Amino acid sequence: MKKGVLLGFLIMVLAACSSNTPEEYEPIPYTLEIPTLFQQKLLPPVIPANNPLTVEGIALGKKLFFDNILSGTRTQSCAHCHRPQDAFSHAFQFSPGANGNLGTRNSMPLFNNAWNYDELFTWDGKEFSLEGQAFEPVTNPIEMNGNWQDIEQLLNNHDSYPELFRQVFGAGRIDSTMVVKAIAQFQRTLISANSKFDRYLLGQETLTPEELNGFNVFMDEAKGDCFHCHGSDNNPLWTDNQFHNNGLDATFTDLGLGAVTGDPNDNGKFKTPTLRNLVYTSPYMHDGRFATLDEVIDFYSEGLQNSSTIDPLMKNVNQGGVRLSAQDKSDLKAFLLTLTDPEFIRDPAFNR
Amino acid sequence: MRRIFTLFFMAIAFANCNDLDADNEAQVTIQFTHNWDGFVVDDTTFNSFQFQTANGENVSIERLRYVVSQLELVGNRNNNVLTQDYNLVDVGNGTGLQLSSSNVITGDYQLRFRFGLADADNQDGVYQDLNVASFNVPTMLGGGYHYMQFDGKYKDANNQDANFNYHVIRAANVSNPSSPVFLDTSFTVDLGTITIRNDAVIEVEMNVAEWFVNPNTWDLNVLNTVLMPNFNAQLLMSQNGKSVFSLGPVTQ
């Protein structure tokens, strides 16, 4: 009998101990606040079942995103090439990596990526999922040039990270999978949906005649015909998240999607970038060749280059494009600027 | 009396047999396939000039997406099976090519669907999956959605590559913006009666070549791009579309 009482007491003590052990911490589930237009027009965002959003996970992802610990030199974070003030892109044509090396592609902006349903990321679509994408730049020699083993060791020996990771992922050694999951959680919260045009669609603001005409140029198949690839008032992502050869070059130095798929029919195809926040995301195109929006519009109007993989949606290629009038060009630019969301770049939740 | 009883019993037995037959259920799959006068059209035959229109232009297909709606198996005992309200078939991506219905009671069915969306269903911006596929039609042309987006290249009169955008939508004449004219150019396709005995795969074939002939021989040198706002071109497309679909093999 005594033994039985002792055993019961021991069990109770152990149970009490285990309920106080740090492994039991349950992170707080986080529900994305989905903008009204996105709710109305778009399918739900992609949130993998094995990486649900939590308050602690997002906070950890944000801390990691801005932390130099992920680079080989400990001098560079994700935010060096994806700066909040540039709508998480970079103002340089090619961003210098941790060792000062330059790449060959312009840094893509990061927002509304939870609504990329095919989950193919980067200009050539070579990375699947936000988690998968976050792996690559850390070890890329011309980007952060890090080493996952070293980074994992640093994180495990850090004074604050082990507790933060434990709160999100439970007990266990910190590894690269946890790192990219946390960063992906943070990235899924980067939502931009409060531009002048959004408010216009919600009936909260009016557009000028020039902006309205610019929108019509954008939507007119005989003029800009931008909507087939770049979304519309019914696709507020302002991208189809697909890959097109938009007629930049007659021959290709960068094969884009073709280098990933190995299919020559994909040569010269790059991801359609979103048109939101263009004010902050210059320079433009995958190689940042155009410094200004005027150059971009001129290119589509008169500068198209023919090639075997040019998208059939590019019209009048032999004449260089659709040859917009000066007024239509100016109005198109005015419309594009209504897709600017200053609140997004100022949001303290997204800044260091 | 005994005979009458026997007859009555047999009648009940037969009736029960019929009920048993009626209770047999099958899974029916509608499979959309595509060909050019018998030659397979799929993502492996895209991007090469291997097809020729009735008018003689060599054609390379680069994108082929279309919507079918109100897809129904209409039973002869008022047992209609609505397989899908609408479905986006994307030949290049290989999506939307199959639709399945389970619990289909065996028997005779008429297979029919609508190419595109009838006006009542063609409401602007209401289908989220079509919005994210950027399948919308601009409001200036009445809004709603494309019926089909068929893009490719053809060899022009100088044997140069030229682009075509054979985009089928509700016909819209907006030349006078104050009184635009819209015409529902979607159409019903009736593929006849099919007897479902077991689980079945029903092939619906699109002969892509038919978009360029019958009744209207299509000259890509004349009608190639900017066809969405072209009211007459939309009428011609709708007319040609009516011979595009046919019933293929039924496997069961």
Model pLDDT for residues A161-191, shown as the tens digit of each residue: 999 999 999 989 999 999 999 999 999 999 9
A194, A35 contact by CB (below 8 A): yes
Residue A157: the pLDDT is 98
Instruction: Please give the residue of chain B at the shortest CA–CA distance from A42.
Output: B128
Residue A221: the pLDDT is 97
Q: Is the pLDDT of residue B66 over 90?
A: yes
* Domain range for B157: 27-251
Between A3-12, A300-309, B34-43, B89-98, the lowest mean confidence (pLDDT) is in A3-12
How many Å lie between the alpha carbon of B104 and the closest alpha carbon of chain A?
30
DSSP codes joined into one string, B22-60: HH-EEEEEEEEEEEETTEE-SGGG-SS--EE-TTS-EEE
Three-state SS at A145:
coil
Q: Is the pLDDT of residue B72 over 90?
A: yes
Instruction: Please give the residue of chain A at the shortest CA–CA distance from B225.
Output: A315
Residue A42: the pLDDT is 98
Q: Do domains A36-191 and A196-345 have the same CATH topology?
A: yes
Which of B61, B124, B131, B158 would you mutate first to test chain A, the one with the most A CBs within 10 A? B131
B134, B138, B160: residue with CB nearest A240: B134
How many Å lie between the alpha carbon of A126 and the closest alpha carbon of chain B?
17
Ranges of H-type helices in B97-228: 128-132
Q: Is the pLDDT of residue B174 over 50?
A: yes
Average pLDDT over residues B101-116: 94
Residues B179, B170: Cα–Cα separation, whole Å? 16
Contact A313 B131 (CB under 8 A): no
Contact A220 B128 (CB under 8 A): no
Average pLDDT of adjacent 10-residue blocks, chain A of 352 residues: 46 46 81 98 98 98 98 97 98 96 96 98 98 97 97 98 97 96 98 98 98 98 97 98 98 98 98 98 98 98 97 94 97 98 97 90
B127 within a domain of the structure (yes/no)? yes
Q: Does B46 touch chain A (CB under 8 A)?
A: yes
Strand B58-75 to B25-36 pairing: unpaired
Residue B76: the pLDDT is 83
Contact A313 B226 (CB under 8 A): no
Q: Does A38 touch chain B (CB under 8 A)?
A: no
- B197 or A5, greater pLDDT: B197
Q: In the numeric block, which tokens belong to residue B12?
A: 């009940």
Provide ipTM, 2 decimals: 0.91
Q: Does B248 touch chain A (CB under 8 A)?
A: no
Residues A157, A85: Cα–Cα separation, whole Å? 32
Residue-wise pLDDT tens digits, A334-348: 999 999 999 999 999
Which CATH fold topology does A196-345 show?
Answer: Cytochrome Bc1 Complex; Chain D, domain 2 (1.10.760)
Spell out which residues of chain B touch residue A235, defining contact as CB-CB under 8 Å.
131-132, 134, 136
Residue A189: the pLDDT is 98
Residue A194: the pLDDT is 98
Spell out which residues of chain B touch residue A321, defining contact as CB-CB under 8 Å.
none
Q: Is the pLDDT of residue B144 over 80?
A: yes
Residues 6+ apart with CB under 8 A from A47: A32, A53, A114, A188
How many Å lie between the alpha carbon of B135 and the closest alpha carbon of chain A?
8
**Phi/psi at B128 (nearest 5 deg)?**
-65, -35
B6 within a domain of the structure (yes/no)? no
Residues A113, A132: Cα–Cα separation, whole Å? 13
Q: Does B89 touch chain A (CB under 8 A)?
A: no
- Measured CA to CA in angstroms, residue B101 lies from A203, B134, B199 at distances of 42, 27, 10
Contact B131 A216 (CB under 8 A): no
Q: Is the pLDDT of residue B17 over 70?
A: no
Residue B169: the pLDDT is 98
Residue-wise pLDDT tens digits, B214-247: 999 999 999 999 999 999 999 999 999 999 999 9
Q: What is the tally of structural domains in chain B? A: 1
B220 within a domain of the structure (yes/no)? yes
Contact B132 A235 (CB under 8 A): yes
How many Å lie between the alpha carbon of B129 and the closest alpha carbon of chain A?
6
Q: Is the pLDDT of residue B10 over 80?
A: no
**Sorting pLDDT into bands at 50, 70 and 90, what band is B115?**
very high
Q: Is the pLDDT of residue B3 over 60?
A: no
Average pLDDT over residues B36-63: 98
B10 within a domain of the structure (yes/no)? no
Q: Does A228 touch chain B (CB under 8 A)?
A: yes
A219, A227, A315: residue with CB nearest B163: A315
B17 within a domain of the structure (yes/no)? no
Contact B134 A235 (CB under 8 A): yes
Q: Does A46 touch chain B (CB under 8 A)?
A: no
Contact A234 B131 (CB under 8 A): yes
| Chain pair A-B, CB pairs under 8 angstroms | 79
Which CATH fold topology does A36-191 show?
Answer: Cytochrome Bc1 Complex; Chain D, domain 2 (1.10.760)
Contact B138 A42 (CB under 8 A): no
**Phi/psi at B122 (nearest 5 deg)?**
-90, 60
Domain assignments of chain A as residue spans, ordered by start: 36-191, 196-345
User: Omega into B215 within 30° of 0, i.e. cis?
Assistant: yes
Residues A334, A321: Cα–Cα separation, whole Å? 20
Closest listed residue to residue B62, CA positions, set B75, B53, B49, B71 = B49
